[in-house]
Structure 1
Amino acid sequence: MRLFSSKGRQLVGVDVSATCVKMVDIKRIQGVFHLQSYGIERLAPGVVVDKLVADTEAVGEVVARLARRCHVTGQNVASAVSGSAVITKIIDMEASLTDSERDAQIRLDADQYIPYPLSEVNLDFEVIGPSQINDRMVQVLLAASRSENVEQRVDALAFGGMTTKVMDIESHAIERAFALMVDSLPNHPELVALVDIGHTQTTLYVAKNGEFVYSREQLFGGAQLTEAIQNRYGLSYEEATINKREQTLPDDYYNELLMPFMDNVIQQITRSLQFYFSSSQYNNVDHIVLCGGSAVIPGLVGMVQQKLGNPTSIANPFINMSIAPQIDSEQLLLDAPSLMVACGLALRSFD
């Protein structure tokens, strides 16, 4: 299973997260990206734990249902492992080497870069540009993940009738999706903070001229709001999740739970940005973009803009795509911020 390679085949993007499976099918029609279909289906608690697939059959059943619902025509998919499950390293190698020679050399020197036996990892590499130290060398991005991380996802997708052709890294997929929308941000910002508010983790990515130059993860996410709803109103996880999403909670919810959660989000963003500023030449960003499931909380984007003083918007990687007529465009606007990974994976068809 290669982490990068996919040459000339149509791939469906499938993102298996802690709470749901997301599927995106993108075609290219006359040079324009076209969103053919997409779907999101929730997973039961405990099916995916700490980014590891605990129940491959349960994930497979959801994948199969989504594939039927989205009417996907192919079975080939691109999926991803979490960045925390991947070791990446940039190394310099002779430019004259062929891919097979490069592969042999990396495997020979693997113990310098990877703290596990080669038999226990999936390994891949990609030439990313000229070396900064020698004209006759190139920079090579080396990526390795424990085989169990990759195989669990491959097995789950196989249960769903899909064949995994590419296993990517979540952050790379997000960067690919972000590149689609960065030119649509007002005033062409040079430095953009992309804040991914996930279920249990919030990640700050800083992009300079569209390319990620920094990332920082924090253990904080939408799960904390769900748990607060469960505790306050005596609801099950499922009930709390549905009520949160459909905004059908008692009148005191906004002041007692939602406002403190949004304040906490802003504190997390502020802290992550301060870490970035302390390690770079910058002391401000030009624009903030929110993505992830919690990005669409009503009022959050305005509150971030007001408290931090930066223009702020919600991610939509489909903004410059044509959209299939059966897709509900209003629902897509709500779902788009949580589809960054799945969208970026679907774009692997066009590498």
Structure 2
Amino acid sequence: MTNLFKTKSKPLLGVDIGSSFVKVLGLSQLSKGYKIDSYAVVHLPEGAVIDNNVQEVPIVAEALKKGVRISGSRNKMAITSVPASVVIVKDLEFSRSFTEDELEEQIKVEADQFIPYPLDEVAIDFQIRGQSATDPEINDVLLVACRQDSVQSREDSVNGAGLQCDVIDIDTYALERTFPLLSESHDLEGKTVGLIDIGASSMSLYVLEEGKVVYSREQVFGGNDLTHNLSQVADMSADEVERAKKEGSLPEDLVRGYVEPFKQTAAQQISRSLQFFYSSGTHAELDILLLSGGVSALSDLDKTVEQELGINTQVANPFSGMKLGSKVNRTKFEADSSSLLLACGLALRSFEG
């Protein structure tokens, strides 16, 4: 079975494989808090990852290899994740009398009933969560399954970069892992939190209650359109545009003509996503919105969203209490930090018991 729940043995390098960028992040634990030891963000060619699926393993592996080299990390043990959208999660109950081998066989039998793919095409793992609250002879078991090719392509990409992919996580679990840090930075205790992750080609809304994701929705919208438009009118490469956006060095006419309208569109797309959430009618209203992903680095996007939606909106920052290692350039890290939330959650897996 796939090591979705493998217990860490060494510090793990967090590897986030997105549609347009790969991100690597290394953390170490201090007596109080954490230190950022290494990080890098590397652009991917168009088509390398499509709809959350790695299409070109050698290209992604080469980008990751470049990222590890830029970061200066010597850590070879890595963790990456698959999107929740490609994962089936099921809570099951089994007798506590089963041995682990017997339980594994029983889980395969059970999985065959609700997984809509042949089992030889599926990666399956499980975690015994403990004794049932209603029956002392029963264990609660969490089953996770996804298509084998979704796992294999990411694992091959990481291994192809000269790393060892030790754990495959799920992105929602990794994001939940950042909640205690976000709570300290943004005063989230007792609040219903909307986390909006806006990447290059997609935007996801995660709603968290008591630090757990209770709702998620992904839609097609991202920063690629803005990047392509700016690249054409300014005769710049995509990498140059991304750098100029982060540095705030775009000419004022391009900011007025392209960036400001895009920020309004982003606010409208977020509003649309929230309407879907509220129409579900199953959870409380949001107390705060946190923005993450590369698009969230646009200057004053949080203010635009807050003004349009009337909700307290901030850029997610799990790093505010962390120390910076000697290999990390503060200016560059601060420009990239909003896109490193998932990589942070993955790296934090290193410090779980």
Asked if TM exceeds 0.5, the reply is yes
- Three-state SS of the structure 1 residue aligned to 2:349 is helix
Determine if the alignment matches structure 1 residue 191 to structure 2 residue 192: yes
List gaps (5 residues or longer) in structure 1: none
Q: Are the equivalent residues in 1 in contact too, given 2:25–2:40 (CA < 8 A)?
A: yes
Count of residue pairs brought into register by the alignment: 351
Deviations along 1:208-228, whole A, 9 cap, x unmatched? Answer: 122211111111111122233
How far apart, in 1, do the equivalents of 2:8 and 2:97 lie?
22
Matched with 2:297 is 296
Q: Report the aligned-residue RMSD.
A: 2.4
Q: How far did residue 320 of structure 1 move?
A: 2.5
Counterparts of 1:1-351 in structure 2 under 5 Å?
1-30=2-31, 32-128=33-129, 131=132, 134=135, 136-186=137-187, 188-230=189-231, 232-233=233-234, 237-282=238-283, 284-351=285-352
Shift of 1:71: 2.8
Name the CA distance, whole Å, in 2 between partners of 1:185 and 1:243.
Answer: 28
List alignment gaps of at least 5 residues for structure 2.
Answer: none
Distance 1:117 1:172, change over 3 A: same
**Match of 1:62, SS?**
helix
Note the C-alpha offset of 1:203: 0.8
Could you say if the C-alpha distance between residues 133 and 55 of structure 1 is closer, same or farther in structure 2, counting changes exceeding 3 Å? same
User: Could you tell me whether the CA contact under 8 Å between 2:84 and 2:170 is conserved in 1?
Assistant: yes
CA contact (8 A) 2:91 2:140 kept: yes
Structure 1, 221-230 or 117-126: larger mean CA deviation: 221-230
Q: Is the 8 A contact 2:43 2:239 kept in 1?
A: no
Paired residues of 1:198 and 1:221 also in contact (CA < 8 A): yes
> Under a length normalisation based on structure 1, what TM-score does the superposition of the two structures give?
0.90
Q: Give 3-state SS (helix, strand or coil) of 1:195's partner.
A: strand
Deviation for aligned residue 1:159? 1.8
91-100 or 16-25, which moves further after superposition? 91-100
Contact 1:89 1:142 in 2 (8 A): yes
Using the TM superposition, give the Cα deviation of residue 308 of structure 1 relative to its aligned residue in structure 2, in angstroms: 2.0
Rounded to whole Å, the distance in 1 between the matches of 2:311 and 2:190 is 11
Equivalent position SS for 2:103: helix
Distance 1:342 1:320 in 2: 17
The offset of 1:77, in angstroms, is 0.6
Letter of the structure 2 residue corresponding to residue 278 of structure 1? S
* Separation in structure 1 between the aligned mates of residue 251 and residue 216 of structure 2, nearest angstrom: 37
Q: Relative to structure 1, is the Cα distance of residues 162 and 269 closer, same or farther in structure 2, using a 3 angstrom cutoff? A: same
TM-score, length basis structure 2: 0.90
Amino acid across the alignment from 2:35 = H
Helix, strand or coil for the counterpart of 2:146? strand
* Structure 1 residue matching 2:178: 3-state secondary structure: helix
